[in-house]
Structure 1
Amino acid sequence: EEKEEEKEEEKEEEKEEEKEEDEEDEEDEDEEDEEEEDEEEEKEEEKEEKEEEREDEKEEKEEEGKEREEEEKEREEEREDEKEEKEEERKEREEEEKEKEEEKEEREEEEKEKEEEKKDTVDETLDKPTVEDYPNVTVENLIKGEQPISPIKFLDLLFDEILSNEDGQNVVDDHNYHTKYNSFKKEYDDLEINSNEYLIIQEIMRKSFSRYLNTSERIKRLTSIFKKILDDDIYYEEFKNVMAGIYGFAKKYSYLNLDKNDKSYTKFLENAAQFVNTLSTID
């Protein structure tokens, strides 16, 4: 019986051992399974990380591509702007060249007109007797009823004479005032005067507007006055009133003997100039 019991105990022990071994095996298997699961999870995480990295790289590349496209677009816009600016500059240069060409043509046209007008003036002058050709009318001539024929002159030519310098060049009829000056003269080109009237008007204007000045200073003074007349409408109206007074005065006293050595003649011109000065504030 003791042997039987021992055998039973041994069997029990073996069973216990087997059971323990089985449990150990199960534990080992569980541990292995857990390790495998951990490895799988790690692999999955690594895979996800790599996937995320690839996505990030892809996004970075896309961003870089967009940035390059933007930069290229900006450069293209800059090139277009530069091209437009150059085109504008080219057009402006063409416009400037065109304006210069037109100004040149205008100057040439004005020069041509001036030459034609000078030619016409010369022709008119050749056709008309000069002041020196006209014998002065004296009181004795009038008493005797002798009235020599007066060569006719026109008032517009007087302006050319009093505004000419020592070289015979008109100091007002230049490029800037050519058109204005000729328009101004046309208002007087139909006013006929004889030689005495011509001289009276000439001397009154010189003494009124440039009194006590030498030839050079007188020309400067008259130049300044006439340019102001051409630039200022109010001043021009004043001058027209003065010229009307001078013209009427010369017509009234055209019978006088214009002997410059005669004191009465000098006194007459002084009084006439003073009379003109009372007509206007022109100075």
Structure 2
Amino acid sequence: MAESVPVRCPACRREHVYAAPSYPCVCGAPVTPELDRDAVPEALTHHTWDDDWITVQCTACARQDQWPRPELGCPCGTVLRVPLVQERSGRRDALTEEAQGESDSGAGTGGESEAADSGADEGTGQAAPAPSGSRRPRIPLPRAAPSPRPSFNPVTIRTARDAVTAAALYLRWLGYQEIRRADQRPPSGIGLAAHGVLAQIDPTLRPASLRDVECLWLTAMTESTGCVYFSLAGYAEDARSVADTLGVPLFVLDLTGTPQPVNSLADELVAAGA
């Protein structure tokens, strides 16, 4: 279970007890960002896609994935960004690198020429071979996804942002990696992209139309990738028919955050994965 930490709102000075949510890694282990209880939370005035996601490493398999950044809504109306331990470490490393760079720049050119001379063979002027005991760079091996796939853990949908988060988590559960905001903004809803797929999320209370599905398919065709549609309110009848013809998997997001397949193409995607 995630550790609870005290969080004080800088606007109204009210203190809350907050625990970061856990998300499922592809290995099945829960992933929870470590909260920094010593740092002061930051009041948010607006969201950006890059700031809303963080990279967290799974303690079980060492896999790194992006997850929603922990936030807390205060009753006074302020949205608080809860600080993380990894951000404190990142700031410390940045300061260390900056200080090291200033130290190296003040060392002069004499050390550089001496190092160049010592690394060359006196007779030929060529670089001397590395010692036999030197460490070679480690080449990471591809990580195979476990089979069978672990159960999907949804997030409750209360806002449009929750709907996007639920869709992003589901895409990652299917096997798509490096999920990001799509380069082209769709006519309606929000677009996400990953290697091999373009997804559109419609968090409105109107059924997705024929035009919505066709626009997603055309954009995916121009980018030579597959596509998938997530809707909170379902689909118009002609939209479902054209999706079957064009090969677009359709999902409906229920309020528990679990996407439900609407057509056979979505069923096949769930069964096979990315």
Instruction: Bin the TM-score by the shorter chain.
Output: under 0.3
TM-score (structure 1 length as normaliser): 0.20
Greater C-alpha radius of gyration: 1
* Structure with the higher fraction of residues in strand conformation: 2
